Amino acid sequence: MIRVAILISGGGSNMVRLVEDMAGDHPGRPCVVVSNTAAAGGLAKAAAMGVPTVVVDHRAYPDRAAFEAAMQAELRRAGAEVVCLAGFMRVLTPDFVALWEGRMINIHPSLLPRHKGLHTHQRALDAGDTEAGASVHLVTATLDDGPVLGQARVPVLPGDTADTLGARVLAAEHRLYPAVLRQFLRELSGV
Protein backbone atom coordinates (compact mmCIF):
# COMPACT_ATOMS: atom_id res chain seq x y z
CA MET A 1 0.00 0.00 0.00
CA ILE A 2 1.32 3.44 -0.92
CA ARG A 3 0.88 6.08 1.81
CA VAL A 4 -0.68 9.24 0.39
CA ALA A 5 -0.63 12.69 2.01
CA ILE A 6 -3.16 15.27 0.83
CA LEU A 7 -2.48 19.01 1.23
CA ILE A 8 -5.45 21.37 1.44
CA SER A 9 -6.21 25.00 2.20
CA GLY A 10 -10.00 25.10 1.97
CA GLY A 11 -13.16 23.00 1.76
CA GLY A 12 -11.32 19.91 0.60
CA SER A 13 -14.00 18.54 -1.73
CA ASN A 14 -11.28 17.01 -3.93
CA MET A 15 -9.59 15.54 -0.84
CA VAL A 16 -12.87 13.91 0.16
CA ARG A 17 -13.19 12.20 -3.23
CA LEU A 18 -9.58 10.99 -3.10
CA VAL A 19 -10.02 9.55 0.42
CA GLU A 20 -13.33 7.89 -0.52
CA ASP A 21 -11.73 6.27 -3.57
CA MET A 22 -8.70 4.88 -1.68
CA ALA A 23 -10.38 1.67 -0.56
CA GLY A 24 -10.56 -1.97 -1.59
CA ASP A 25 -8.04 -2.88 -4.28
CA HIS A 26 -6.85 0.73 -4.64
CA PRO A 27 -3.02 0.74 -4.33
CA GLY A 28 -3.04 3.77 -2.01
CA ARG A 29 -4.32 4.80 1.40
CA PRO A 30 -4.52 8.28 2.90
CA CYS A 31 -2.00 8.71 5.74
CA VAL A 32 -2.50 12.40 6.60
CA VAL A 33 -4.32 15.54 5.51
CA VAL A 34 -2.21 18.67 6.02
CA SER A 35 -3.60 22.19 5.86
CA ASN A 36 -1.72 25.51 5.95
CA THR A 37 -4.64 27.03 7.87
CA ALA A 38 -6.81 25.88 10.77
CA ALA A 39 -9.76 27.54 8.99
CA ALA A 40 -9.82 24.86 6.26
CA GLY A 41 -13.24 23.20 6.24
CA GLY A 42 -11.63 20.08 4.83
CA LEU A 43 -9.95 19.32 8.18
CA ALA A 44 -13.24 18.33 9.84
CA LYS A 45 -14.23 16.29 6.77
CA ALA A 46 -10.94 14.38 6.88
CA ALA A 47 -11.26 13.75 10.62
CA ALA A 48 -14.83 12.52 10.11
CA MET A 49 -13.46 9.97 7.62
CA GLY A 50 -10.84 8.84 10.12
CA VAL A 51 -7.85 10.42 8.38
CA PRO A 52 -5.22 12.02 10.66
CA THR A 53 -5.01 15.77 10.18
CA VAL A 54 -2.41 18.39 10.99
CA VAL A 55 -2.26 22.15 10.56
CA VAL A 56 1.04 23.76 9.63
CA ASP A 57 0.07 27.43 9.65
CA HIS A 58 2.25 29.24 7.15
CA ARG A 59 1.78 32.49 9.09
CA ALA A 60 3.59 30.96 12.09
CA TYR A 61 6.89 30.78 10.22
CA PRO A 62 9.34 33.56 9.34
CA ASP A 63 9.77 32.44 5.75
CA ARG A 64 8.73 29.90 3.13
CA ALA A 65 11.68 27.60 3.83
CA ALA A 66 10.82 27.32 7.54
CA PHE A 67 7.17 26.66 6.73
CA GLU A 68 8.09 23.94 4.25
CA ALA A 69 10.58 22.37 6.69
CA ALA A 70 7.75 22.09 9.23
CA MET A 71 5.44 20.61 6.59
CA GLN A 72 8.13 18.14 5.48
CA ALA A 73 8.60 17.02 9.11
CA GLU A 74 4.86 16.23 9.33
CA LEU A 75 4.90 14.40 5.99
CA ARG A 76 7.83 12.27 7.15
CA ARG A 77 6.16 11.64 10.52
CA ALA A 78 3.12 10.36 8.65
CA GLY A 79 5.31 8.17 6.42
CA ALA A 80 3.96 9.81 3.28
CA GLU A 81 5.28 8.41 -0.02
CA VAL A 82 3.13 10.44 -2.42
CA VAL A 83 1.71 13.95 -2.01
CA CYS A 84 -1.55 15.18 -3.57
CA LEU A 85 -2.16 18.93 -3.64
CA ALA A 86 -5.93 19.47 -3.55
CA GLY A 87 -6.85 23.10 -3.32
CA PHE A 88 -3.55 23.85 -1.64
CA MET A 89 -3.03 27.56 -2.11
CA ARG A 90 0.61 28.09 -1.18
CA VAL A 91 3.31 28.22 -3.86
CA LEU A 92 6.01 25.66 -3.08
CA THR A 93 9.73 26.42 -3.50
CA PRO A 94 11.85 24.45 -5.96
CA ASP A 95 13.69 22.94 -2.95
CA PHE A 96 10.50 21.44 -1.55
CA VAL A 97 9.32 20.32 -4.99
CA ALA A 98 12.69 18.61 -5.51
CA LEU A 99 12.12 16.53 -2.32
CA TRP A 100 8.97 15.10 -3.97
CA GLU A 101 10.09 15.00 -7.61
CA GLY A 102 7.91 12.54 -9.47
CA ARG A 103 5.78 11.84 -6.39
CA MET A 104 3.72 15.00 -6.01
CA ILE A 105 0.65 15.79 -8.14
CA ASN A 106 -1.79 18.70 -8.28
CA ILE A 107 -5.19 19.44 -9.72
CA HIS A 108 -5.58 22.73 -11.56
CA PRO A 109 -8.97 24.03 -12.74
CA SER A 110 -8.11 24.65 -16.39
CA LEU A 111 -7.11 22.75 -19.52
CA LEU A 112 -3.34 23.25 -19.14
CA PRO A 113 -1.30 24.72 -20.62
CA ARG A 114 -4.07 27.29 -20.97
CA HIS A 115 -4.82 29.53 -17.97
CA LYS A 116 -2.05 28.74 -15.51
CA GLY A 117 -2.41 30.61 -12.23
CA LEU A 118 -5.56 31.98 -10.59
CA HIS A 119 -9.11 32.98 -11.65
CA THR A 120 -9.10 30.38 -14.39
CA HIS A 121 -12.87 30.31 -14.98
CA GLN A 122 -13.25 34.06 -15.44
CA ARG A 123 -10.22 34.04 -17.74
CA ALA A 124 -11.72 31.23 -19.84
CA LEU A 125 -14.94 33.23 -20.17
CA ASP A 126 -13.06 36.43 -21.00
CA ALA A 127 -11.07 34.57 -23.65
CA GLY A 128 -14.29 33.28 -25.23
CA ASP A 129 -13.25 29.65 -24.68
CA THR A 130 -15.94 27.17 -25.73
CA GLU A 131 -14.37 24.46 -23.58
CA ALA A 132 -12.95 24.45 -20.05
CA GLY A 133 -11.96 21.80 -17.58
CA ALA A 134 -9.36 20.52 -15.15
CA SER A 135 -5.88 19.03 -15.32
CA VAL A 136 -3.96 16.75 -12.98
CA HIS A 137 -0.22 17.21 -13.40
CA LEU A 138 3.09 16.32 -11.82
CA VAL A 139 4.31 19.23 -9.70
CA THR A 140 7.55 20.78 -10.90
CA ALA A 141 9.41 23.93 -9.88
CA THR A 142 7.45 26.04 -12.37
CA LEU A 143 3.86 26.78 -11.23
CA ASP A 144 1.16 24.74 -13.00
CA ASP A 145 3.70 23.56 -15.54
CA GLY A 146 4.53 19.89 -14.98
CA PRO A 147 3.64 16.96 -17.26
CA VAL A 148 -0.14 16.53 -17.47
CA LEU A 149 -1.34 13.10 -16.28
CA GLY A 150 -5.02 13.55 -17.13
CA GLN A 151 -7.63 16.11 -18.12
CA ALA A 152 -11.41 16.46 -17.98
CA ARG A 153 -13.26 18.73 -20.43
CA VAL A 154 -16.56 20.53 -19.89
CA PRO A 155 -18.48 22.82 -22.25
CA VAL A 156 -18.69 26.55 -21.62
CA LEU A 157 -22.41 27.29 -21.88
CA PRO A 158 -24.17 30.52 -22.91
CA GLY A 159 -24.78 32.66 -19.86
CA ASP A 160 -22.07 30.96 -17.83
CA THR A 161 -20.55 32.92 -15.02
CA ALA A 162 -17.30 32.09 -13.24
CA ASP A 163 -19.45 30.44 -10.56
CA THR A 164 -21.57 28.28 -12.89
CA LEU A 165 -18.55 27.26 -14.93
CA GLY A 166 -16.54 26.66 -11.76
CA ALA A 167 -19.21 24.36 -10.38
CA ARG A 168 -19.25 22.36 -13.63
CA VAL A 169 -15.45 22.08 -13.59
CA LEU A 170 -15.37 21.10 -9.91
CA ALA A 171 -17.78 18.23 -10.57
CA ALA A 172 -15.43 17.06 -13.33
CA GLU A 173 -12.45 17.39 -10.95
CA HIS A 174 -14.16 15.05 -8.52
CA ARG A 175 -14.24 12.34 -11.19
CA LEU A 176 -10.83 13.10 -12.70
CA TYR A 177 -8.57 13.31 -9.65
CA PRO A 178 -9.45 9.90 -8.13
CA ALA A 179 -9.08 8.21 -11.52
CA VAL A 180 -5.68 9.80 -12.18
CA LEU A 181 -4.38 9.07 -8.66
CA ARG A 182 -5.42 5.42 -8.95
CA GLN A 183 -3.60 5.03 -12.27
CA PHE A 184 -0.58 7.01 -11.03
CA LEU A 185 -0.17 4.76 -7.99
CA ARG A 186 -0.67 1.64 -10.09
CA GLU A 187 2.23 2.75 -12.27
CA LEU A 188 4.36 3.63 -9.23
CA SER A 189 3.75 0.22 -7.69
CA GLY A 190 4.48 -1.48 -11.00
CA VAL A 191 1.06 -3.08 -11.28
CB of 27 to ligand GRF, least distance (A): 22
The closest residue (CB) to ligand GRF is: 87
CB of 171 to ligand GRF, least distance (A): 10
CB of 26 to ligand GRF, least distance (A): 19
Hey, is 104 helix, strand or coil? strand
Which residues of the chain form beta strands (DSSP E)?
A: 2-8, 28-35, 53-55, 82-85, 104-108, 131-138, 148-155
174 carries an active-site annotation: no
Nearer to ligand GRF (CB atom), residue 43 or residue 80: 43
CB of 170 to ligand GRF, least distance (A): 5
Nearer to ligand GRF (CB atom), residue 89 or residue 99: 89
**Which backbone phi and psi does 112 adopt, to 5 degrees?**
-55, 145
Binding residues for ligand GRF (CB under 6 A) = 8, 10-15, 42, 86-87, 107-109, 134, 170, 173
Nearer to ligand GRF (CB atom), residue 69 or residue 122: 122
Nearer to ligand GRF (CB atom), residue 10 or residue 150: 10
Catalytic choice (108, 121, 137, 174): 108
Contacting residues for 161 by C-beta, under 8 A, at least 6 apart: 125
Hey, is 29 helix, strand or coil? strand
Q: How far from chain centre, in Å, is Cα 33?
A: 11
* Strand order from edge to edge, sheet including 148-155: 53-55, 28-35, 2-8, 82-85, 104-108, 131-138, 148-155
Enzyme catalytic residues:
108
